[in-house]
Amino acid sequence: MLPQFLPNTIPNWIGGAQVEAQSGEVFQKVSPHSGVQLYRVASSGISDIQRAVQIATHAQPDWAGMTPVRRGELLLNLAQVMRDYRDDIAAVVALETGMSFCAAQAETAVAIAQGEFMAGEGRRLYGRTATSATPHKYASLVRQPVGVAGLIIAANTPIANIAWKVFPALICGNAAVVKAAEDAPATAWLFGRLARQAGLAPGVLNIVQGLGEQAGAPLVAHPDVGVVSFTGSTEVGRVIATVAAQRLAKVSLELGGKNPLIVCDDADLEKAVDWSLLAAFSNAGQRCAAASRIIVFDAVYGQFRDQLVERTRKLRLGPEDGDDLGPVINERQLNHMLSAVEDARKKGAAILTGGTRLGGAAHGKGFYMAPTIIEQVAPRDAISLQELFGPITCLYRVKNFDQALCMANDSPYGLTASIHTRNIDRAMEFTRRIQAGVAVVNGGTHGSEPHMPFGGTKMSGNGTREPGREALEVYSDLKAVYINVSAEIH
């Protein structure tokens, strides 16, 4: 059911006001569950981006002129308003993504926690003091804002993704222009409304709806955008990095993953199956940190495979709280997955379960991909290398720890990784040698906390980290300050 507070056309927030795209153009947002239109969305273009950046540029000095403590107080207000309206936020997230209301509530709680943590950084926006080789000279480092932050949001966990970028960008004293995810426009719109309610000055936070090429590209290219943060595919990340490099803008890229989960011969198999199901299939596998490669020791391969397949076939698909996973975000994404699975099958892969689009009265009108497990694929096959961003995982058989680690690292990506073992020596060696930004022992490949940095190596990013205190490095610059004093004291 469409919440009554949503407008028929989702507008932009620019300068504290709700405005349509200057062209008057719109696009449709449809339900991933039913395929029916939910509402229309402002289809912004370069003129809308230019106006948003101009207003953000004018608003930024006053925002930066506040003490970091005061900025933190206002951002804490926003987090508290989000808590007051958490059911409304969750309802919109569930509507736009097709996830259950319960899952959307959990995501909203993560976003609120991120806001509360980052608001506290207003009292910890530390530089540092240093020493000087010159007598009567004092040296220190202070943080200063970059200016205007261009934030490009992904739709898989939309309110969490917004919080990950907006709160650290603003606490550092930047103004922000958010390019909302085209598949989750109302989530961004509602966040903008709550920000105004929380007391953020007009122009400090601007939210622009639109498609990537029409709205995202001009935001990346705008000469007054000092830092660009993007979460999405590696392919688009490369383009963004290239464009931003032409004007030497700061860039933060959180990109794809093909994340390994290793099951050793001494693993607690029941827990390993539990975590594999969650890591591979929760949120319909639409996580950059999803476990899409499950690497299993020979000694337990058959037992683990049979348990995982049996449990997977029992998963319930739908948008209700009793369901295990919902649809994927749009039909284009679904068709891409189906094509990749069919290509793997033609090349000799065995589809143990799933591999098809769900039909019938309950699922046929939506974008439901059956949870899919594939075996008999090689580590360098296309399906082993390509991020599909859906409920699809592949099984691989290995002899021992060294072979498992080698296979885990034999990937163009390096975002997250997990191992299941009772051997502490093996676990510690895994955390040391795995080529990933996040290493987990006896858990899933997914899951992060507001105070911990997240990001990857290789094609999974450009070395930056969000969230955690490390996000401050993205959204602030360091200024070295030297003060020379007289040796004579009167």
What domains sit in the chain, N to C, each tagged with a CATH number? 9-255+461-479 (3.40.605.10), 259-441 (3.40.309.10)
- Stretch 340-355: mean pLDDT, rounded? 97
d(CA 484, CA 40): 61
Q: Which string of DSSP letters, residue by residue, matches 210-279?
A: --IIIIIHHHHH-TT--EEEEES-HHHHHHHHHHHHTTT-EEEEE----EEEEE-TTS-HHHHHHHHHHH
The answer to whether residue 217 scores a pLDDT higher than 90 is yes
Query: Identity (one letter) of the amino acid at 161?
Result: N
Q: Report the share of the chain in percent with pLDDT over 70.
A: 100
The answer to whether residue 1 scores a pLDDT higher than 80 is no
pLDDT in tens, 93-127: 999 999 999 999 999 999 999 999 999 999 999 99
The answer to whether residue 17 scores a pLDDT higher than 90 is yes
Token pair recorded at residue 213: 């090429």
**Distance from chain centroid for Cα 76:** 22
pLDDT in tens, 52-87: 999 999 999 999 999 999 999 999 999 999 999 999
Query: Identity (one letter) of the amino acid at 400?
Result: N
- Catalytic, out of 96, 254, 466, 473: 254
pLDDT in tens, 300-323: 999 999 999 999 999 999 999 999
d(CA 116, CA 167): 9
Question: Which residues on neighbouring strands pair with residue 484, listed in sequence order?
Answer: 137
Q: Report the share of the chain in percent with pLDDT over 90.
A: 98
- Stretch 280-302: mean pLDDT, rounded? 97
The answer to whether residue 447 scores a pLDDT higher than 90 is no
The answer to whether residue 278 scores a pLDDT higher than 80 is yes
Distance between first and last Cα of the chain: 76
Q: Is 254 a catalytic residue?
A: yes
> Residue 108 contacts by C-beta under 8 Å, 6 or more apart in sequence?
82, 86, 89, 90, 93, 159
- Stretch 136-155: mean pLDDT, rounded? 97
Q: Using pLDDT thresholds of 50, 70 and 90, give the confidence band for residue 353.
A: very high
The answer to whether residue 92 scores a pLDDT higher than 90 is yes
The answer to whether residue 13 scores a pLDDT higher than 90 is yes
Q: Is 20 a catalytic residue?
A: no
The answer to whether residue 490 scores a pLDDT higher than 80 is no
15: left (phi over 0), alpha (psi -120 to 50) or beta: left
- Stretch 289-296: mean pLDDT, rounded? 98
d(CA 212, CA 377): 34
The answer to whether residue 461 scores a pLDDT higher than 80 is yes
- Stretch 175-180: mean pLDDT, rounded? 98
- Catalytic, out of 121, 288, 394, 466: 288
Q: 4, 457, 21, 37: which is closest to 256 by C-alpha?
A: 457
The answer to whether residue 2 scores a pLDDT higher than 90 is no
